[in-house]
Structure 1
Amino acid sequence: MKTDFNEKQIQILGVAEKLFAEKGFDGTSIRDIAKEAKINIAMVSYYFGSKEQLLEAIILNRVTDIKLQLDILTLEDLDPLQKIQKLIELYIDKINSNRCIYKIMHFEFSSSQRVINLQAFTDLKKGNLKSIESIIQDGQEKGIFRKDIVIPLLTTTILGTYFHFHLNRPFYENLLDLKTEEEYNTYIKTTLTMHIQQTIKALLTYES
């Protein structure tokens, strides 16, 4: 599936993402999307085909953006640890800014009834992993990182920590006295991100 979309397609993707997150995939119709986007139903079908293909396009659009930024990061003039710390900031910022699509992915991908071609999505995720592997291997060659790192589990640790925090939002808002959306997002961008960075650094580096 293509990942370069024109302005009208991007508008449709934004509307569909919002409605899928609010009403669920099954609870949203192509008619709902067309009405919200103020376009003809036929235009949605023309651009994306089925509703399943529209969901695939939303996911690929988001994941491709992360892949491009990871590719740029690997080329930056930073040491391996700085790149990993910046990678964590990138992941947390992107996920927290695009909660809608990750909410969709969490619920829809767990459905055994959902028929979605995930090969392109899987290929992009593997590409992201390759970018991380190149940073880790560079750090290992320079003696900065441990040799026994299970690289595929690093993203699990990063994302798992974020999602545990977010899925238990009411608990942490009460515990940490986060009264507004701004305070919640600021905490994620600062304290939670720093905690994840410290955790990953501890996993990667030798004990002093």
Structure 2
Amino acid sequence: MKEDYLKMIFELGGVSGKVSNKQLSLSLDIAAASVTEMINKLVEERLVSHTPYAGISLTKSGRKAAEELVRKHRLWECFLFQKLGYTLATVHQEAEKLEHSSSDHMIDALDAFLDHPGHCPHGGAIPDQAGNYEVGSRTTLDEVADGTKIRLARFVDNHDLLDYLESLNFSIEQTYTIKSHAPFEGPLTLAKADGSTVDVSFKAANNIFVDKL
């Protein structure tokens, strides 16, 4: 469980910025009270720092732990997706098991076998052996104004989310135009190039990162 929090804080931008309790609650699908309890434990272990009303960020040791976990997890996702034909929605749970039983030597060998991929199948950056990686977009779909053209950049690594997005036929690099935001945390309507539209739930939109075009 602690590892899931570190990975999610990393994924939501907690390396160079701040992540809110609400973001973690939405992305992990965990009650806000439980998130607060775990964050307090991570603060005690000096893996994260928490500034009230500002947010949560990884400490130096927390960042190192998160990067190692993310590297293992995402390299296994690449292997399962590219070599074994797993779908986007099914790689997460298998990779979750494999990351905990993999030595650093095995992960380095896997990285070389896959020709050092920079991103996993759902767009997340993969730290290299030295801990270097490309910082991804921190703009979520729900933050973008109506009328803006966007490209899907990455999806939060959550099984239910990836299963949902697969049902919508979403994939990285697709482009859409934001047509409308329904009020009271209702769905967002996206327009495709051919004029057809697709609705995305507010919760999912909070877990989809995009590049503005």
Q: Same fold (TM over 0.5)?
A: no
- The structure with the larger Rg is 1
Kindly indicate which of the two structures has a greater share of residues assigned to helix: 1
Kindly indicate which of the two structures has a greater share of residues assigned to strand: 2
Structure with larger RCO (C-alpha < 8 A, sep 6+): 1
